[in-house]
Amino acid sequence: MKTPTKETLLEMYRVMLLARRLDERAWVLHRQGKIAFHISGIGHEAAQVGAAFALERGKDWFVPYYRDLAMLLALGLTPLEFALGLLGKKGEPSSGARQMPSHWSLRRANVVSHSSPVGTQTPHASGIGLAIKMRGDSAVVLTSIGEGSTSQGEWYEGVNWAAIHRLPVIFLVENNVYAISVRQEQQMAVATVAEKASGLGLPGVTVDGLDALAVFDVVSEAADRARRGDGPTLVETRVHRLTPHSSDDDDRSYRPREEVEAMKAGDPLSAFEQRLKQSKVLSSEKQASLEEEIGKTVADAIQAAEAAPYPEVSEASYPVYVEDIRRG
């Protein structure tokens, strides 16, 4: 069972901090009327970074969902690339600005394109797992989803495939208890999403998603199991959605402010920061310099993206078919 080195711990922290600052900046841009839409990962960063670092980045495959900014940054998405997506600018790597922001795809990092309809990605991950098994490769595939979306038949059918064929898939559930305004109790009659695994015949684990290292351990174990040929694992991370669902949402109508304030007390970023400081991995100086460096990175990325052109209108007509693909 591997444990992250000091360097890895610092890198995990850096990615979480970068994700947080980029995300906060996106909210500001929205308030300024510079972007039309943002969907936030604030509160989910520890789960995403813990999971990503537990896998072999560059080799393993990922089928994420819209909250996974921190995961994508861990996989190599650059701040500029994210910013281009926010603004719908040319060169945005996931879709050439065809999709809404945070609809991820990054071929160079084995990150598969996902759509908006929730749950559709789950069978894709099982299909990738089936292909890995058929080819005798040693990669694993991780797919993430919110707890509400596990109500979809697509999720059930996708997980069932992996369980039957013991495919190398990790089903990561980021459970923030809300699906927009609908609470978990209205989505399922079980107390934890992990319990759903027992009905599908695969191991299910619930882990504190505010604790990056706890998630790192559980996902490392799931990856080992998958590589051993022992099949898939359902990993439920309990996280907090510290923002409204998206920039289109106003959550005051359905959740009390006190609840949100209480959650903020358990902010996964500061928790990880405290922990690294206590274990002397992170000094206050280092932390300050990281903040500064990241502040600059974010500012530069936004500036460059604002300066970037929109796609030419001519780009909109392709590629409908593979025959129409144009590079560059």
Partner 1 sequence: MAEITLIEGLRQAMDEELARDDRVFIVGEDVGPRGGVFRATQGLFEKYGSGRIIDSPLAELSIIGVGIGAALYGLRPICEIQFADFIHPAFNQIVNEAAKMCYRSNGEWTVPMVIRAPYGGGIGGGLYHSQSLEAFFAHVPGLKVVVPSTPREAKGLLKAAVRDPNPVLVFEPKKGYRLIKGEVPEGEEILEPLGVARVSRVGTDLTAIAYGMMHHYTLQAADALAQEGISVEVIDLRTLLPLDKATVLGSVGKTGKALIIYEDNLTGGYGGEIAAILADEAFTDLDAPVRRLGGPDVPAMPYSHPLQDWFLPNPVKIAGAMRELAAF
Ligand X SMILES: Cc1ncc(C[n+]2csc(CCOP(=O)(O)OP(=O)(O)O)c2C)c(N)n1
Query: Which listed option, its own copies, partner 1, Mg ion, none, makes contact with residue 176 (CB within 5 to 8 Å by class)?
Result: Mg ion
Residue 26 binds to partner 1 (criterion: CB under 8 A): no
Residue 120 binds to Mg ion (criterion: CB under 5 A): no
Residue 164 binds to its own copies (criterion: CB under 8 A): yes
> DSSP H helical segments within 116-256, as ranges?
121-135, 153-164, 195-200, 212-227
Which of 57, 165, 254, 275 is catalytic? The answer is: 254
Residue 268 binds to ligand X (criterion: CB under 6 A): no
Backbone angles phi, psi at 204, to 5 degrees: -130, 135
Q: Is 242 helix (H, G, I), strand (E, B) or coil?
A: coil
Residue 107 binds to partner 1 (criterion: CB under 8 A): yes
For residues 114 and 64, is the Cβ–Cβ distance under 8 A? Answer: yes
For residues 214 and 207, is the Cβ–Cβ distance under 8 A? Answer: yes
Query: Which listed option, partner 1, its own copies, ligand X, none, makes contact with residue 195 (CB within 5 to 8 Å by class)?
Result: its own copies
Residue 157 binds to its own copies (criterion: CB under 8 A): yes
Residue number of the CB closest to Mg ion reads 146
Listed in order, strand segments (DSSP E) in the chain are 61-63, 141-146, 169-175, 178-179, 182-183, 204-208, 233-238
DSSP state of 112: P
Residue 243 binds to Mg ion (criterion: CB under 5 A): no
Residue 144 binds to partner 1 (criterion: CB under 8 A): no
Among the listed ranges 141-149, 188-196, 280-288, 318-326, the one in contact with its own copies (CB under 8 A) is: 188-196
- CA-CA distance, 156 to 123, in Å (whole number)? 9
Min CB(177)–ligand X separation in Å: 8
**Contact letters for ligand X, residues 233-262 (x by CB under 6 A):** --------x---x-----------------
Residue 307 binds to partner 1 (criterion: CB under 8 A): no
The CA distances from residue 80 to 42, 77, 115, 315, in Å, are 19, 8, 21, 21
Residue 189 binds to its own copies (criterion: CB under 8 A): yes
What strand order describes the sheet that includes 61-63? 61-63, 141-146, 169-175, 233-238, 204-208
Among the listed ranges 90-98, 131-139, 174-182, 300-308, the one in contact with ligand X (CB under 6 A) is: 174-182
Measured from the Cβ of residue 227, the count of other Cβ atoms closer than 10 Å reads 14
Tell me which residues are annotated as active site: 241, 245, 254
Binding region for ligand X (CB under 6 A): 67, 116-118, 146-149, 174, 176, 178-180, 241, 245
